[in-house]
């Protein structure tokens, strides 16, 4: 008995950090996703010149919580022809894969669950790709035409763009020389330049492929509401549906984090090696103070007393975060936390910008047709990314021959990127010529 307690204590002592991290992620991520949805609706409203959610809480700030409660108490409908077990399992599988992928990611140098896993980024990509099982099984189990077509489309799309995304990752890994997340970011610190600048074509390829992989517009064909109702989610309602939704948005966060880690310098601030630019460290607290002051200014304009109080609370939260961000720079006692806290801020900031770009594209571009989507993947992105790997390889050899390092490596990689760009334009031109102007074949009902 004593031995067991001893072992448990030892275990907790050794692994308390990942345990706490995991609990926080599982507990907080659904809330974050809820607010990402709110932000998306607000951005959509802003781009369409309307207000968006305004009723629940000031400026709709409590909307996600109301939605969650609604989804929890909704009637649960399982179609009578559905395969009950698979129907139950599919959303669970989808959301578990998406959440598990977060384990490999590092939110700043301090917060990471799988710290010593040496295949870091491969783990994230591999685990998050398992989510497709949830989608295919869900579409098959609901025994509906729309669901099945949505699931098939989704799997074909994911599978087509997985290769292009993998090739783009290879380009970044050529510079990093490691799969471990910490080593990748360290490599970007040592070389002083983000890999996204050294390999812009690879970053672009990954951007497009990641939008397609997360089934976002303009590639949201699996759930194209004008053709397939809701794709693989048609028969899911209530909390099962929200699990799928959670998986989708978590996947968005995962691909954004992978791109941030490999191409945008992870948790490093811009120009990490330039010491005279250290004042950039004051940007995070100033940003939070700015948001707080804006909230304070809006407070008297709220119509109801409760809303005013809530707005004040939000402002207070912003000031508290600003204090946390500024503390390591002023108080010597918490100095060791400097990298951890500011790193987490920069990481979240970059991920937010990446996700904002996703949303911006969604409200700007019209949806692709399925054959256009496949064409873009197989005819354009895959050859381009293969050629880009070779070009980057040549650029690295030439750069080492002339002893170029860090920023000066741009001298060889930017010509390589320009060549890749010319090849891309060439492929696009030939594609345009070969694309059938008028489809002579009968429309395929299952495509």
Partner 1 sequence: MPKAYLPVLIYAALVAAFPAVTLLFAKLIRPASTSFGAKLKPYECGVPSEGTSRGRYSVRFYIIAMLFVVFDVETMFLIPWAILYRGWVMAHMGLFALVSMFVFLGILLIGYVWLYKKGALEWA
Nearer to partner 1, 161 or 347 (CB): 161
115 binds partner 1 (CB under 8 A): yes
Q: How many CB atoms lie within 10 A of CB 175?
A: 22
CB of 7 to partner 1, least distance (A): 13
Give the SS3 label for residue 107. Answer: strand
432 binds partner 1 (CB under 8 A): no
CB of 401 to partner 1, least distance (A): 8
Angle at 18 between CA 16 and CA 19, to 5 degrees: 60
Nearer to partner 1, 326 or 396 (CB): 396
Contact set for partner 1, span 290-329 (CB under 8 A): none
CB of 312 to partner 1, least distance (A): 32
CB of 344 to partner 1, least distance (A): 18
**Piece in contact with partner 1 (CB under 8 A), picked from 15-23, 50-58, 206-214, 273-281:** 15-23
Q: Which residue has the tokens 């918490």?
A: 334
CB of 234 to partner 1, least distance (A): 6
Give the SS3 label for residue 259. Answer: helix
Q: List the one residue from 1, 3, 177, 432 that touches partner 1 (CB under 8 A).
A: 177
Nearer to partner 1, 245 or 310 (CB): 245
CB of 189 to partner 1, least distance (A): 15
239 binds partner 1 (CB under 8 A): yes
Q: Which residue has the tokens 């997340």?
A: 181
Nearer to partner 1, 46 or 81 (CB): 81
The answer to whether 218 and 207 are in contact (CB under 8 A) is no
| Contact track, partner 1, 59-98, x by CB under 8 A | ------------xxxxxxxxxxx------x--xx--xx--
Q: List the one residue from 201, 254, 396, 424 that touches partner 1 (CB under 8 A).
A: 396
Contact set for partner 1, span 349-388 (CB under 8 A): 370-371, 374-375, 378-379, 382-383, 386
Identify the CA nearest to 266 among candidates 200, 331, 182, 201: 182
Contact set for partner 1, span 136-155 (CB under 8 A): 140, 142-149, 152, 155
Non-local CB neighbours of 11 within 8 Å, separated by 6+ positions: none
- Residues paired with residue 111 on neighbouring β-strands, in sequence order: 107
Q: List the one residue from 52, 66, 162, 415 that touches partner 1 (CB under 8 A).
A: 162
The answer to whether 416 and 394 are in contact (CB under 8 A) is yes
- Total of chain residues touching partner 1, rule CB under 8 A: 92
255 binds partner 1 (CB under 8 A): no
Q: How many CB atoms lie within 10 A of CB 255?
A: 26
389 binds partner 1 (CB under 8 A): yes
**Piece in contact with partner 1 (CB under 8 A), picked from 22-30, 218-226, 258-266, 333-341:** 22-30
DSSP type of residue 381: I
Tokens found for residue 357: 């770009």
3-state SS track over 179-230: CCHHHHHHHHHHHCCCHHHHCHHHHHHHHHHHHHHCCCCCCCHHHCHHHHCC
Non-local CB neighbours of 82 within 8 Å, separated by 6+ positions: 141, 142, 143, 235
Distance CA 376, CA 91 (A): 29
Q: List the one residue from 52, 166, 218, 415 that touches partner 1 (CB under 8 A).
A: 166
């Amino acid at each position: 008995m004593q031995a067991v307690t001893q072992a448990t204590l030892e275990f907790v002592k050794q692994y308390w950090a990942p345990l706490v991290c995991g609990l926080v992620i599982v507990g907080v991520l659904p809330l974050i996703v809820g607010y990402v949805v709110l932000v998306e609706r607000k951005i959509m409203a802003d781009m369409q010149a309307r207000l968006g959610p305004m009723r629940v809480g000031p400026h709709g700030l409590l909307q996600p919580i109301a939605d969650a409660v609604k989804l929890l108490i909704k009637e649960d409908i399982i179609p009578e022809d559905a395969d009950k077990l698979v129907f139950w399992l599919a959303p669970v599988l989808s959301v578990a894969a998406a959440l598990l992928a977060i384990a490999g990611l590092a939110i700043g140098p301090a917060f990471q669950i799988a710290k010593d896993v040496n295949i870091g980024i491969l783990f994230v990509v591999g685990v998050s790709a398992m989510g497709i099982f949830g989608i295919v099984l869900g579409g098959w189990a609901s025994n509906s035409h729309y669901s099945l077509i949505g699931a098939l489309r989704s799997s074909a799309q994911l599978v087509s763009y997985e290769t292009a995304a993998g090739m783009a990752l290879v380009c970044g890994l050529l510079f990093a020389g490691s799969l471990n997340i910490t080593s990748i970011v360290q490599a970007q610190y040592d070389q002083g330049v983000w890999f996204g600048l050294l390999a812009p074509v690879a970053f672009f390829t990954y951007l497009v492929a990641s939008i397609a992989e997360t089934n976002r517009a303009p590639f949201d064909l699996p759930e194209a509401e004008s053709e397939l109702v809701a794709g693989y989610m048609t028969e899911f309602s209530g909390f099962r549906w929200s699990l799928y939704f959670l998986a989708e948005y978590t996947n968005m966060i995962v691909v954004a984090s992978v791109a941030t880690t490999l191409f945008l310098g992870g948790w490093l601030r811009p120009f990490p090696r330039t010491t005279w630019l250290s004042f950039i460290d004051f940007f995070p607290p100033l940003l939070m103070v700015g948001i707080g002051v804006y909230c304070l200014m809006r407070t008297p304009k709220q119509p109801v007393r409760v809303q005013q109080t809530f707005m004040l609370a939000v402002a207070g939260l912003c000031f508290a975060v600003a204090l946390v961000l500024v503390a390591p720079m002023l108080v010597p006692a918490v100095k060791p936390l400097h990298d951890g806290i500011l790193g987490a801020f920069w990481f979240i900031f970059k991920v937010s910008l990446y996700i904002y770009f996703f949303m911006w594209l969604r409200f700007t571009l019209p949806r692709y047709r399925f054959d256009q989507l496949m064409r873009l993947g197989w005819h354009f992105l895959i050859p381009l990314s293969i050629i880009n790997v070779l070009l980057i390889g040549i650029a690295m050899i030439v750069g080492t021959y002339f002893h170029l390092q860090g920023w000066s490596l741009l001298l060889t990689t930017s010509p390589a990127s320009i060549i890749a760009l010319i090849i891309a334009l060439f492929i696009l031109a030939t594609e345009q010529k070969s694309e059938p102007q008028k489809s002579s074949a009968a429309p395929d009902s299952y495509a």
